[in-house]
Chain A
């Protein structure tokens, strides 16, 4: 599902709303419990004192089901690779297959181990004029996107995602490097977030 705010009002003058139409703009900061239903409640951070701090404001987090979806999909790949390696070694007797297979399986196992930690490190904050997104523990990344810069909000969900009722929300600006992808939102939360973002983006649209 894709919403392009651009098509609706191509000629909207580039105004910010603070001075001119404060009532027309929905307030993104308005607390909404749909976003926080069944999610994690604390952001996982690195322990070192030199980390990028959380700052103030409330962070919304991912739904708990996201971890299960990730674990299942990685686990399936793990089992397939394991079966292939076992087949090659036991049936054909090619023992060297353990070298690439072992490396691959090791990486997959490590991914499975850190997935729950990683999922807790995702967070997003709806501030007055921008959305702040953070992810990562070892490699931390924080991005702030002004609402007016959004070109597109994209929601995708695969079959497994649908089974667990979650979706992935992608936020597209004119810069490819922005790269804000929020995986694992509850479907209602994703839809509400999308509607909020589109409304706010429309009200604060600026040029490219």
Chain B
């Protein structure tokens, strides 16, 4: 979809006339109060209207059929002689008493009131982006004012639900650090949302906005075409976007990982939920043989449920891409509802690479992270934001981990990949479960262990479900050591890294007591040192103005041939491709 070039991109990008016209509009991040897109109430209140319309249509079904398709239905006879309200059909009552005008006026009045309310709520819903925070004011009677400090921004998500996408609108979510602390700007036009996101990230990074202003000023502004033409081209651009995938401002780096659709589907089929499904099917069949055959019919809802679940997980992960950008790692996924999230550096609190036994023959891995999603605990979308790589080969894992943890020195990566993921190998650097306590880790005692690096703590667990958890020490909140009576008898202890809540399991059990105590002190000292070195809350603050921040160190170029060439449909359209 052609949009205005993001301010970080110079104006050499081929932009459609409409986009240029929109550039001429005042920037939304100039520190003044702005309103959201005028169509916002339609999308936010749209669901309510659809429900009401549905109820009305369902109740007046016969009447509508009679009205529009009179030859179909002769059964409906309208009793014209109804004179008073007897609890019958209100439409009959209106027709009988010739109250068309009153009814029409009433409907019109309700519509006007609704539109007025929507208009008011839109007018009172304003936002402002200043150098220090993002603020949103909303509400007519009960005003709310939410402010998110920019140095605590954990990421910016751009969600484009299918219908909003058709008219070129997007939802912007500034992820704050806390439960239910997100600041949402819904909806903005896609181009504005892109610009606002870039500005928020630039401000949060500590770079100067002046830079962005200069860029924006060079973008050509021109007289816009007529409103109708603009609307038409917005819709067509939206449709293009729907076909070609999430719009990416030209010149952004390509995804470093490409997941073939076949692999994605196969990986979802080879999951633990499949095992559950098979177990349920066997149970039902056994039940139908042993008991009544009617039990077989309960297979149908189970299969439908699982089918829906699979389709959902697959479509959610389709069109996945991950790429480094100047302001962090950009992750895009979703077939119908496209979500583009940008994860600034230093916002990942824990990373876990895991592989179930079903995936081992294929050599696939999954990567999940602990991060602040700014949502409530019960929010179902949390899981989605936790998965950074749904399925990938070892090379993919390597590339994604290098994006997520750019600070890890090159000589330490073998400790992650060779020893951590695939270990134990001969001369294993990890500190493992002692032999005397192997009864407590029967299968995995040779693998169960940790390794402390200057910047990260690695916990390796699981022989059947291989897992490697990586904790950046600069993000570690505290460290604990625990010991129960059985542990004490064997002189072992458990360590636990305390990070923000998430899917990564942060406890490592059954380590030699002295090793665990030494690790406890060592991790604490290393965490203090790492935290004092860490400046990622204003991640580009020290960088000179104009010098682009690169989250990917140049010392680890991957072999050219390994970089996948995304097909136009899957990933972003290649630069220079006519749109």
Contacts and interface: CB of A to CB of B under 8 A. Distances in A.
A17 to B, nearest CB: 9
Contacts of B498: 143, 173, 175, 177-178
B488 A50 contact: yes
A139 to B, nearest CB: 5
A180 B506 CA distance: 17
Interface residues of B, number: 45
B489 A48 contact: yes
A139 B485 CA distance: 7
A207 B206 CA distance: 14
Given A52-B493, A174-B500, A142 B534 contact: no
B149 A175 contact: no
A143 to B, nearest CB: 4
A169 B150 CA distance: 30
B513 A146 contact: no
Interface in B468-518: 474-475, 477-485, 487-493, 496, 498-501, 506, 513, 517
A6 B372 CA distance: 18
A23 interface: no
A53 interface: yes
B534 A143 contact: no
Contacts of A26: none
B92 interface: no
Could you say which of B481, B484, B498, B501 has the most chain A C-beta atoms within 10 Å of its C-beta? Answer: B498
Most chain B Cβ neighbours within 10 Å, of A48, A140, A177, A180: A177
Contact of B478 (A15, A51, A53, A144): A144
Interface residues of A, number: 36
The dominant DSSP class at the A interface is loop
A51 B66 CA distance: 85
A163 to B, nearest CB: 33
A172 to B, nearest CB: 10
A136 to B, nearest CB: 8
Nearest to A50: B491
Contacts of B493: 52
Nearest to A19: B532
A100 to B, nearest CB: 27
A143 B500 contact: no
A88 B478 CA distance: 49
B500 A175 contact: yes
B151 A11 contact: yes
A102 interface: no
B478 A149 contact: yes
B351 to A, nearest CB: 16
A148 B478 CA distance: 10
Interface string B517-533: 10010001001100110
A144 B482 CA distance: 12
Contacts of A140: 482-484, 488
Interface string B130-157: 0010000000000000000101101000
A145 interface: yes
Contact of A145 (B478, B501, B520): B478
A106 interface: no
A207 B488 CA distance: 36
A143 B475 CA distance: 16
A144 B479 contact: yes
A52 B519 CA distance: 13
A22 interface: no
A50 B346 contact: no
A16 interface: yes
B537 A207 contact: yes
A149 B500 CA distance: 12
Contact of A143 (B479, B488, B501, B527): B479
A145 B478 CA distance: 5
Interface string A116-130: 000000000000011
B535 A14 contact: yes
Contacts of B9: none
A91 interface: no
B488 A141 contact: no
B483 to A, nearest CB: 5
A146 B496 CA distance: 15
Pick from B474, B477, B534 the residue with the most CB of A within 10 Å: B477
A48 B482 contact: no
Given A141-B483, A146-B478, 9 more contacts: A14-B535, A16-B532, A18-B532, A50-B488, A50-B489, A139-B482, A140-B483, A144-B478, A148-B531
Q: Which 6 A-B pairs have the closest CB atoms?
A: A50-B491, A207-B537, A175-B477, A16-B532, A175-B498, A145-B478
Interface of A: 10-11, 14-16, 18, 46, 48-53, 129-130, 138-146, 148-149, 173-178, 180, 206-208
24 contacts: A14-B535, A15-B532, A46-B488, A48-B489, A50-B483, A52-B493, A139-B485, A142-B481, A142-B482, A144-B478, A144-B479, A144-B480, A144-B520, A145-B477, A146-B478, A174-B372, A174-B500, A175-B478, A175-B499, A176-B501, A206-B474, A207-B531, A208-B154, A208-B475
